[in-house]
């Protein structure tokens, strides 16, 4: 039998609903731990309740603590399952992807409905995640996110719906595998893995979203607020309103890298347009184009690069 470590960090999967008021909140006893006899038929499972946090309470420090814990425990297990709130699940998953260099299967899951709501998805997501983590084909694939019987990579998955059970999607490329009634099936390979050995997370990176009529004020506060890097979710393939250009140039002149992603959640950024604020000119000015990553993922990657002690060529690191 495969040995699987189940690390609980909180989220709706560990919550229940008050049947009178409808409020959903953390339970003192994690409801998924009551089903251990069922899950122990799937694998030899060790359970650790590391945190009991709603996922908006996750910080760079708690993610680093989780990463270090997984690194320390991984040699003793065939696979690791991490339960997590869904709101920031994709960010913790990608943080782990960036900061761990392991062959062990690492699978994150959560739930959209708490343990006692009708149609609660927690137990079935956990079952799928345990099946994936104990399948030898899941080794060496980086951090995986398993929800609603689909397997996604940490790098490209995103929460696309506030409440729907099919919320986790990989918009541009699709899932890399699925869980059928009893089997784990992969139909895409993971092409690229990255590793940034982080011990500190104190250099801050900001994230701004562009919009029609945006001025330069928020971009100008980045330097004075102590941010060491900026990610912008730009317009379309990576364009900006012309009035923002001088503020972006100022940041680059001050050695604060500016990374461009798209506010469109599908497709990749490219420097295409040669007009004031267009991608061609922004790239010539030194803006880095991150192909395929969302804003929150690019922010984590730039933060990982800036907090890694060795020199890393940021432009190259962001190129697909
Ligand atoms: N707000 C919850 C959280 O992320 C949502 C969930 O777990 O589904 O903690």
- Kindly report, residue by residue over 140-156, the tens digit of the pLDDT: 999 999 999 999 999 99
Which tokens go with 8?
């609980």
Task: Tell me what the mean pLDDT of segment 25-33 comes to.
Answer: 78
Position in ligand 1 atom list of the atom nearest CA 54 = 9
pLDDT tens readout for residues 172-191: 889 999 999 989 999 999 88
Q: What is the DSSP letter of 14?
A: G
Query: Is the per-residue pLDDT at 22 higher than 80?
Result: yes
> How far away, in angstroms, is 158 Cα from ligand 1 center?
14
Using pLDDT thresholds of 50, 70 and 90, give the confidence band for residue 316: very high
Position in ligand 1 atom list of the atom nearest CA 13 = 7
> How far away, in angstroms, is 31 Cα from ligand 1 center?
15
Using pLDDT thresholds of 50, 70 and 90, give the confidence band for residue 292: confident
Position in ligand 1 atom list of the atom nearest CA 57 = 9
Query: Is the per-residue pLDDT at 33 higher than 90?
Result: no
Using pLDDT thresholds of 50, 70 and 90, give the confidence band for residue 236: very high
Q: What angle do CA 262, 159, 51 make, to 5 degrees?
A: 120
Q: What is the pLDDT of residue 17?
A: 86
Lowest mean pLDDT among 34-38, 44-48, 67-71, 163-167: 34-38
> How far away, in angstroms, is 253 Cα from ligand 1 center?
40
Q: Is 103 left (phi over 0), alpha (psi -120 to 50) or beta?
A: alpha
Using pLDDT thresholds of 50, 70 and 90, give the confidence band for residue 48: very high
Give SS3 for 298: helix
Mention every residue, 6+ apart, whose C-beta is less than 8 A from residue 30. Answer: 8, 14, 49, 52
Query: Is the per-residue pLDDT at 39 higher than 90?
Result: no
> How far away, in angstroms, is 12 Cα from ligand 1 center?
5
Task: Tell me what the mean pLDDT of segment 200-218 comes to.
Answer: 97
Q: What is the pLDDT of residue 172?
A: 87
Q: What is the pLDDT of residue 319?
A: 87
**Which residue among 87, 113, 119, 161 is best mutated to probe the pocket of ligand 1, counting the most ligand atoms within 8 A of its Cβ?**
87
Active-site residue, selected from the candidate residues 9, 12, 88, 153: 12
**Which residue among 9, 10, 12 is best mutated to probe the pocket of ligand 1, counting the most ligand atoms within 8 A of its Cβ?**
12
Q: Among residues of the chain, what percentage have pLDDT more than 70? A: 100
Which tokens go with 197?
């050995």
Q: What is the pLDDT of residue 25?
A: 87
Position in ligand 1 atom list of the atom nearest CA 12 = 7
pLDDT averaged over every residue in the chain: 95
Q: What is the pLDDT of residue 47?
A: 94
Q: Is 46 left (phi over 0), alpha (psi -120 to 50) or beta?
A: beta
Q: Where are the alpha helices (DSSP H) in the chain?
A: 36-39, 60-73, 89-99, 122-133, 217-224, 245-253, 279-285, 295-307, 314-318
177-179 and 79-83 as β-strands: parallel, antiparallel, unpaired?
A: unpaired
Q: Which residue puts its alpha carbon closest to atom 7 of ligand 1?
A: 85
Query: Is the per-residue pLDDT at 29 higher than 80?
Result: no
Find the length of the chain: 320
Question: Which is nearest to 99 in space by CA: 240, 194, 215?
Answer: 194
Q: What Cα–Cα distance (Å) separates residue 259 from each residue in 114, 130, 153, 188? A: 37, 36, 22, 28
Query: Is the per-residue pLDDT at 27 higher than 80?
Result: no
> How far away, in angstroms, is 81 Cα from ligand 1 center?
17
Pocket of ligand 1 (CB under 6 A): 11-12, 54-55, 85-87, 110-112
Residue pair 259/232 in contact (Cβ under 8 Å)? The answer is yes
Task: Tell me what the mean pLDDT of segment 20-40 comes to.
Answer: 82
Q: Which residue puts its alpha carbon closest to atom 3 of ligand 1?
A: 85
Q: Note if 158 is an active site residue.
A: no
Q: What is the pLDDT of residue 18?
A: 85
pTM for the complete prediction? Answer: 0.96
Q: What is the pLDDT of residue 58?
A: 98
């Amino acid at each position: 039998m495969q040995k699987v470590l189940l690390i609980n960090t909180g989220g709706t999967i560990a919550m229940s609903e008050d049947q009178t008021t409808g409020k959903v909140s953390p339970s003192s006893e994690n409801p998924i731990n009551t089903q251990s006899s069922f899950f122990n038929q799937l694998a030899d499972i060790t359970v650790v309740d590391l945190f009991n946090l709603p996922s908006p309470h996750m910080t760079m420090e708690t993610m680093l603590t989780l990463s270090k814990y997984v690194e320390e425990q991984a040699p003793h297990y065939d696979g690791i399952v991490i339960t997590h709130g869904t709101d920031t699940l994709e960010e913790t998953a990608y943080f782990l992807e960036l900061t761990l260099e392991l062959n062990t299967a690492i699978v994150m899951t959560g739930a959209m409905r708490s343990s006692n709501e009708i149609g609660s998805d927690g137990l079935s997501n956990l079952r799928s995640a345990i099946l994936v983590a104990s399948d030898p084909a899941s080794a060496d694939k980086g951090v995986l996110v398993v929800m609603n019987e689909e397997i996604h990579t940490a790098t490209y998955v995103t929460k696309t719906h506030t409440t729907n059970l099919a919320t986790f999607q990989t918009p541009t490329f699709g899932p890399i595998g699925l869980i059928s009634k009893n089997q784990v099936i992969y139909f895409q390979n993971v092409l690229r893995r990255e590793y940034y050995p982080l011990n500190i997370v104190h250099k801050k990176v900001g994230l701004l979203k562009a919009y029609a009529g945006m001025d330069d004020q928020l971009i100008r506060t980045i330097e004075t607020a102590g941010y060491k890097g900026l990610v912008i979710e730009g317009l379309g393939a990576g364009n900006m309103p012309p009035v923002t250009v001088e503020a972006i140039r100022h940041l680059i002149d001050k050695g604060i890298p500016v990374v461009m992603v798209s506010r469109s959640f599908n497709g990749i950024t490219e420097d295409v347009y040669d007009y004031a604020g267009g991608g061609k000119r922004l790239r010539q000015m030194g803006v880095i184009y991150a192909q395929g990553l969302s804003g929150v993922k690019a922010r984590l990657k730039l933060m990982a690069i800036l907090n890694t002690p060795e020199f890393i060529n940021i432009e190259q690191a962001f190129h697909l």
